[in-house]
């Protein structure tokens, strides 16, 4: 009886430690998985210096590695969008597909980036999400520490922030957005 109690206690302690690590945005050693981390803003500015992604503010430039290990740079230069989702979010797939259609129509003239700010996500889950969303061509970033989610005040999944070539936010929502609304947002960002 006492032995079973000690084993149960050890399992409980290990579980609490794992949950604490996930909550802190830390990743346990996962051999063979690419490290995906969001870097500090690319231009040396502090995270809050240029805005929080609200309409009228300016996107703070940043760089990161996507789930395929490629460098992604987000900021001024061309119109773009940040799309916040989670690998387990079924409703997010609808908007991921809609953004994929917009990306296909506008091509390299826009920079769409999907970001999972969920520390409990995984590269495998994000890849499955991308595949189930029609495999859009834009990059997918796992922000395992949640830095971008905090910086852009993301309070709900399906948050989309569209910005113009100067980095000024022209559209923001936190709901599933259809392709026509996204097209209108990119027109507002200067895309014709």
DSSP state of 109: G
Strands 111-116, 140-142: pairing is: parallel
Per-residue pLDDT tens, the chain, 192 aa: give them.
655 444 444 433 343 333 333 343 433 334 334 444 455 544 444 344 456 677 778 998 889 999 999 999 998 799 999 999 999 999 999 999 999 999 999 999 999 999 999 999 999 999 999 999 999 999 999 999 999 999 899 999 999 999 999 999 999 999 999 999 999 999 999 998
CATH of domain 35-188: 3.40.30.10
Q: What is the pLDDT of residue 1?
A: 60
Geometric angle at alpha carbon 155, from 104 and 64, rounded to 5°? 50
Give 74: exposed, middle or buried? Use CB within 10 Å, 0-12, 13-18, 19+: buried
Q: What is the pLDDT of residue 55?
A: 77
Q: What is the pLDDT of residue 53?
A: 73
CB-CB contact of 80 with 74 (8 Å): yes
Can you give the pTM of this predicted structure? 0.76
CA distance 58 to 183: 20
Q: Is 5 helix (H, G, I), strand (E, B) or coil?
A: helix
Q: What is the pLDDT of residue 165?
A: 94
Q: What is the pLDDT of residue 52?
A: 67
Buried-state track 139-151, b at ≥16 Cβ within 10 A, e below 16: bbbbbbbbbbbeb
Q: What is the pLDDT of residue 51?
A: 60
């Amino acid at each position: 009886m006492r032995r079973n109690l000690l084993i149960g206690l050890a399992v409980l302690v290990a579980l609490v430690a794992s949950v604490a690590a996930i909550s802190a945005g830390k990743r346990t050693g996962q051999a063979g998985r690419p490290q995906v981390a969001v870097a500090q803003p690319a231009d040396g500015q502090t995270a809050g210096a240029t805005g929080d992604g609200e309409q009228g503010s300016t996107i703070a430039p940043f760089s990161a590695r996507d789930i395929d290990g490629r460098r992604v740079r987000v900021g001024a230069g061309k119109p773009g969008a940040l799309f916040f989702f989670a690998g387990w979010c079924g409703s997010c797939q609808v908007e991921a597909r809609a953004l994929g259609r917009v990306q296909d129509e506008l091509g390299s003239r826009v920079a769409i980036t999907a970001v999972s700010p969920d520390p409990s996500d995984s590269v495998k889950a994000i890849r499955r999400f991308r595949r189930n969303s029609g495999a859009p061509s834009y990059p997918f970033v796992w922000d395992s520490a949640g830095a971008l989610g905090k910086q852009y005040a993301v309070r709900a999944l399906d948050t989309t922030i569209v910005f113009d070539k100067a980095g000024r936010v022209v559209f923001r929502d936190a709901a599933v957005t259809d392709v026509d609304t996204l097209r209108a947002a990119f027109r507002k960002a200067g895309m014709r």
